[in-house]
Amino acid sequence: MTTVTTKQGVARGTARLLSPRLTAGLLREGVKDALAGPPPGALDLSGKPVRIVFTKTQHCDAACSCPAARRVDGRTVEIEADDYLTAYAAFMAALDLAGSVA
């Protein structure tokens, strides 16, 4: 996986961004690097759960309505699945449920 850093978090709602021109150049180089390497293999969860840490406990409460979700602590949910597609579907369901509360 190739990544390109285009901004740096400073505080919860604040970030230091690179200029659009510099960002475009970095993204262009990142794409070249990504395409030059071998194609990525299948995502292997290797029995590791997907972990979601929410900022508010009520979001965690709602996400726990998802059958695949298991609460770890006040703000954390884990989702275990046998394959990536199932994990992704449960992850999206948990996020939708969390987003349904204020």
pTM: 0.60
Residue 56: pLDDT band by 50, 70, 90 thresholds?
very high
Residue 32, in any domain of the structure: yes
Task: Determine the average pLDDT of the residues in 22-49.
Answer: 87
Residues 32 and 56 both lie in one domain: no
Residue 71, in any domain of the structure: yes
How many domains is the chain built from? 2
Is the per-residue pLDDT at 82 higher than 90?
no
Task: Determine the average pLDDT of the residues in 7-30.
Answer: 94
For the chain, the first-to-last Cα distance in angstroms comes to 35
Is the per-residue pLDDT at 46 higher than 80?
no
Is the per-residue pLDDT at 40 higher than 80?
no
User: What does the pLDDT read at residue 101?
Assistant: 87
